[in-house]
Structure 1
Amino acid sequence: MDLDAYQKAIIKFDLDKKMESQNEVDFAFVDKILGLTGEAGEVADKVKKVIRDQAGKLSVSDKKAISRELGDVLWYVATSARYLGISLEQIASENIEKLESRLSRGKISGSGDER
């Protein structure tokens, strides 16, 4: 699925669906950011349990459960971006440009946003 098509298709699942291109941080935006961190935590928790309980061996059902949580992360990322008036295509494109620049400069590893 096209990223921008996904971003449009999910609007109907947002209780604050009219929110777009905000210029302030309000409850609806904070709700989405907190949801994003919560869902990312659920991904991490599922992986932790695979390591703890299964010696790191992923089953088909583990992969499916993690995939579902990653889908929730994607929903929150897409909705947060929509609130900011930014398309997922733009975010993905700019991220590839940043990573390509780091790779070409030998800075793909390390830390810091401006490496």
Structure 2
Amino acid sequence: MDANEYQVLALRTEAGGRSDRERLLNAALGLCGEAGEFADTLKKAEFHGHSLDTDALRKELGDVLWYAALACDALGVQMGEVMAQNIEKLRRRYPEGFSSERSIQREA
């Protein structure tokens, strides 16, 4: 499945009737919440003696993607476009792949 197809299919489960501003706020809060659940799963494995629950991590990543799709849609862009822009930024920043030196000395 590609990102744009995911975006269309995922948003079939969105409750309607909200403005794009409200949808962006919902996406921002949802992204924070789901990222927190992802981090909490890792915290429990690292510091509470739980085994690493990779199934739970995958589910949380899916929820992150849902909120990313919502944010993209509210902005009027396709996820694939945002992904491509991000890759282009990374290529400019790290043309030979990541390096600590380029990270430390990179321009804003």
Do Structure 1 and Structure 2 share a fold, with TM-score over 0.5? Answer: yes
CA shift in 2, pair 1:68/1:50, >3 Å: same
1:81 aligned to 2:69? no
Task: Find the counterpart in structure 2 of residue 9 from structure 1.
Answer: 9
* Aligned partner of residue 104 in structure 1, secondary structure: coil
Structure 1 stretches lacking a partner, 5+ long:
none
* Aligned partner of residue 94 in structure 2, secondary structure: helix
Compute the TM-score of the two structures, normalised by the length of structure 2. Answer: 0.82
CA shift in 2, pair 1:36/1:17, >3 Å: farther
Higher helix share: 2
Structure 2 stretches lacking a partner, 5+ long:
none
Match of 1:35 among 19, 22, 30: 30
Deviations 1:78-101 (A, max 9, x none): 111111011111011111101011
Count of aligned residue pairs for this structure pair:
105
Percent identical across equivalent pairs? Answer: 36
Task: Find the counterpart in structure 2 of residue 69 from structure 1.
Answer: 60
TM-align CA RMSD: 2.5
Aligned-residue offset at 1:51: 0.4
Aligned-residue offset at 1:16: 2.2
CA shift in 2, pair 1:89/1:28, >3 Å: closer
8 Å CA contact retained: 1:99, 1:108? no
1:33 and 1:100 map into 2 onto residues whose CA distance is: 26
Deviations 1:9-53 (A, max 9, x none): 01211002786xx4xx2x332122111111111111111111012
8 Å CA contact retained: 2:11, 2:69? no
